[in-house]
Each structure stands twice: as structure tokens, then as C-alpha cells.
Amino acid sequence: MRALVFDNDLSYRTDYPVPIPAEDEALIRVTAVGICNTDLEITKGYMGFNGVPGHEFVGIVEECKKKDLEGTRVVGEINIGCGRCRYCRNSMRNHCTNRSVLGILNKDGAFAEYITLPVRNLHILPDSIPDEKAVFVEPLAAAFEITEQVDIKDSDMVCILGDGKLALLAAQVLALTGCKLIVFGKHKNKLSVLKNLGIETGIDLSPDERRFDIVIDCTGSLSGIVSALNIVRPRGTLIIKTTTAGRSKIDLNSVVINEITITGSRCGPFEPAIKSIESKTVDLTSLISDSFPLKDGIEAFKYASKPGVLKIILTPN
């Protein structure tokens, strides 16, 4: 089959083997897949991943033991747990110590014609959600994870740092809580997406003002985490969404001195993500920059890493 393969370098191949589904898995024909920042980081060495990246997919079930699933249009949760360890047995499959993760860890992903995933990971999509919006279910679920982790009250002063794809999704999800939200970024054109939705935005963040109850770092950079640490109020909460291939030293004294709670945040619940797309409570159209056929995937990756570019979608043809 055709696939984008990362092996120290990203290449387009036409001879990659079609994956064979395990007993509990479905074979899925990918119909669209989004390029995520994580994919860009993978091409810089993040997670030491080799294989087919891609995890923000939508597709059609081609083959499956559960015959009623065949032919249905699905999205899928990307963490594959062993089902036996204490995390899997306590509803923490995403943290299974033996897990694989679609297109990120020990499992080929969706920049390909076909993928396999366990049936329990799949969510059938309503017909009203087109493919180009369905690719947002996974990252939108990651945005909803924030509201699962911290109880956000409408009196809370909340700041999101960053204006990339995840920041724009997180902002829309947090705006639903009614909190006092402001989003700081660097690119006026990206922030304008939020401005048009009535969400407050800013470019100049005054660095030493510790005033926010909750700060969410969606910058994708280590310097962004440092900035975030500087603006959380004493006993406030910092939620970190950034994962990077790079490493750096961060001074944690301020965390102790100001008794800040730091929470890492990754994958989230699919149901509210699907519902919010279905009911159009989030605007996704303005987050789509372009789409490319799979064969132009290398070019698509280059374009996706340009400043100002938001979601790039790959389709098989």
C-alpha cells in the first residue's frame, strides 16, 4: 500500500505492507488524516519512533470480527492497552505500561491507506460530521481532557498560552465553561480565529504578572512552559500540553515558592468531542489551512511546519 514512512527521514512509499489485524482489531481504510504537531516532532526524533506516523484519522471499517461494524465510518482512540495491567483494569488504559500508541509508539499510524486498531478503540461517527471535521475528534478530545482534569469555575481567570491548533481547540472548549479566558499568542492571523468567536486574545504578555488561577501551556515550546510558570498565581494550576523532541533545564524554584500545581495533559474523551462537532459548538472550518493527497505528503509536512499554517489534511487521493 501507499504510506508515508519515517525512518530517520520521511519518505513516500508505494510498497508498504497492508497491516494484518489482530484477533481483536479491525482493518480500517483511511479516508482522511490530519497532520498534528506531534507528527512534526516525530520527524525531529520525538519518541524515537520509526514507521508510519499519523493518529488524527477517520476511515471506513473494511474487515472485522464484529460484522455489524464493517462498512461503518469511524474515528479511533490512539492508545492501545494490554487489557491486563493495573492501569488497564482501572480505566487508565491510556497509561498502560505496555501500551502502543497509533503512529507514535510501536504501532503504524494513519498516513497510509490502511491501519488496524482494536475494536474497543473505535467510535462510529454520525453522518452529519464530514471527514475534514472528523479528523479533529482526537485533538479536540485532548482539549476536553483539560476540563476532566481541573474543575474550571466561571469566576476563574484562565490563560492559554499558544495560538497553534491545539490552543485554538482548547480555547473553544474552555470558553464553554464560562470562565474568564484570555489566549496569548504570537500570530495575529491565528488569534483572529478566536477573536471572531468572541474570545479575548492578546499578543503582549507581561511576563511577571502572577494573576491567573489556571494557565494552560499549548505553546509547543519549552520557553512557553517557562512563560506559563511566570504568570500562574500562588497556589494556581499550570496544565502542560507541550511535548517536544528537545530537552531543556527549567528552574522549578518558583513552583515550590508559589505552591503551584502542575498537571500534564494528553489524550482525552472522544464522546464530548464528537458531540461538540455534531452540535457545531466548536468552529473547525477556520482551523483548516489546506488538504493534500497522500502522494504529496512530504510537501504537506513541509507546508504544515510553516508559521501561520493551521491544520493540514491528507486524503488518499
Binding site for Zn ion (CB under 5 A): 36, 38, 81-82, 85, 88, 96
Task: Tell me how far, at minimum, the Cβ of 174 lies from Zn ion, in Å.
Answer: 18
Instruction: Using only the alpha carbons of the chain, give its radius of gyration.
Output: 19
For Zn ion, which is the closer residue by CB, 33 or 125? Answer: 33
Task: Tell me how far, at minimum, the Cβ of 93 lies from Zn ion, in Å.
Answer: 7
Do 33 and 313 contact (CB within 8 A), yes or no?
yes
Task: Tell me how far, at minimum, the Cβ of 99 lies from Zn ion, in Å.
Answer: 6
Supply the DSSP symbol for 112: B
Q: How many contiguous H segments (helices) and E segments (strands) does the chain have?
A: 10, 17
For Zn ion, which is the closer residue by CB, 95 or 210? Answer: 95
For Zn ion, which is the closer residue by CB, 64 or 96? Answer: 96
Do 210 and 233 contact (CB within 8 A), yes or no?
yes
User: How far does Cα 35 stand from its chain's mean position?
Assistant: 10
Task: Tell me how far, at minimum, the Cβ of 154 lies from Zn ion, in Å.
Answer: 29
For Zn ion, which is the closer residue by CB, 40 or 82? Answer: 82
Task: Tell me how far, at minimum, the Cβ of 38 lies from Zn ion, in Å.
Answer: 5
The three grid cell numbers given for residue 206, joined into one nine-digit string? 507581561
For Zn ion, which is the closer residue by CB, 237 or 276? Answer: 276
For Zn ion, which is the closer residue by CB, 230 or 305? Answer: 305
Task: Tell me how far, at minimum, the Cβ of 242 lies from Zn ion, in Å.
Answer: 12
Task: Tell me how far, at minimum, the Cβ of 260 lies from Zn ion, in Å.
Answer: 26
Residues 197, 172: Cα–Cα separation, whole Å: 8
For Zn ion, which is the closer residue by CB, 53 or 236? Answer: 53
Residues 117, 25: Cα–Cα separation, whole Å: 5
What lies within 8 Å, CB to CB, of 250 at 6+ separation is 222, 225, 226, 229
Residue 53: closest CA among 105, 116, 119: 105
Q: Which DSSP string corresponds to 37-106?
A: HHHHHHTTTGGG--B----EEEEEEEE-SSGGGTT-EEEE--EE--SSSHHHHTT-GGG-TT-EETTTBS
